Amino acid sequence: MAQEAGQSASPESVQTTAETILDYMLKGGPFLMIPLAALSFLAVILIIFYLFTIRQGAIVSDRFMNAADALIRKQDYLGLIAVCNRENESIARVVYKTLDFATKNPTASFDEVREVTEAEGTRQASQLNNRISYLNDISRIAPMVGLFGTVIGMIAAFEGIGKSSGVQHMELAPGVAQALVTTAAGLVVSIPSLVFYSIFRGKVQRLIAEMEAAMTHIMALLAAQYKRANHKAPARRELTEGE
């Protein structure tokens, strides 16, 4: 009988807890709780988006590197450019900019080509870091919005007490508790956002390091081709054979 009573009371207690949480959220007021809910929804969308896009296959894949290695060794630079156009990886963008500059400037030195590679690599790395910065922004904005709501609530609570006569200190507690709801809501949004930002930041740094290693490998292959061509651009041989 006791177990049956406990089991029958359990759903009611859960429902009461849910209603209490909802009541606290509604006490925060729609003026600031709606923006906090929007920030929470945006954070969830960004986290899901980053889970699918911040991965090795989107930055540096073994398939692309194997194809690039084979085409460079065969001096098929135009073929590699075509491969880069079909891929959307960060390393493919770097290789494309490098070969596009080399083929359009056949008299360029290897140092000039390397500068183009480094510049594009820096740009791709900045894009990766900027992509996850939105999650960091949410983790900073949410508690500020919550604190703003708390300040407004505290002002309203003290103002109401000031207008009343003979108010006891205990009557201040409900107003203060209501004012703190937005701060709690802001932290609920901020803490998970900051945790996932830290995770994605570490992942991005690891992927950037792998992209830099891939760039070094590509440039080493191109340097060997430049030496064979007496320091001429890679496209010189192809253009000469085409004529």
Model confidence at 175, in pLDDT bands (50, 70, 90)? low
Give the contacts of 72 (CB within 8 A, at least 6 positions apart).
80, 218, 221, 222, 225
The label of the residue with tokens 């596009």 reads 100
Model pLDDT for residues 86-104, shown as the tens digit of each residue = 988 999 999 999 999 988 8
Measured distance between the N- and C-terminal CA atoms of the chain, rounded to whole angstroms = 96
Is the pLDDT at 113 greater than 70? The verdict is: yes
Q: Most distant CA pair in the chain: distance in Å?
A: 100
For residue 116, what pLDDT is reported? Answer: 92
CA trace torsion 74, 75, 81, 82 (10° rounding): -40
Is the pLDDT at 204 greater than 80? The verdict is: yes
Model confidence at 162, in pLDDT bands (50, 70, 90)? low
Distance between CA atoms of residues 61 and 90, nearest Å: 10
Q: Are 102 and 233 contacting, i.e. CB atoms less than 8 angstroms apart?
A: yes
Distance between CA atoms of residues 187 and 204, nearest Å: 25
Distance between CA atoms of residues 181 and 203, nearest Å: 34
Model pLDDT for residues 23-57, shown as the tens digit of each residue = 555 555 557 788 899 999 999 999 999 999 898 88
Give the contacts of 118 (CB within 8 A, at least 6 positions apart).
215
For the packed helices 77-86 and 62-73, what is the interaxial angle rounded to 10 degrees?
160
Q: Are 114 and 219 contacting, i.e. CB atoms less than 8 angstroms apart?
A: yes
Residue of 57, 73, 6 whose CA lies nearest to 211: 57
Model pLDDT for residues 2-25, shown as the tens digit of each residue = 444 444 445 555 455 444 555 555
Model pLDDT for residues 118-159, shown as the tens digit of each residue = 999 999 999 999 999 999 999 999 999 988 888 887 777 777
Model pLDDT for residues 61-73, shown as the tens digit of each residue = 899 999 999 998 8
Does pTM top 0.85 for this prediction? no
Model confidence at 165, in pLDDT bands (50, 70, 90)? low
Q: What are the Cα distances from residue 209, in Å, to 96, 123, 134, 158?
A: 19, 14, 22, 55
Residue 226 or 72, more confident: 72
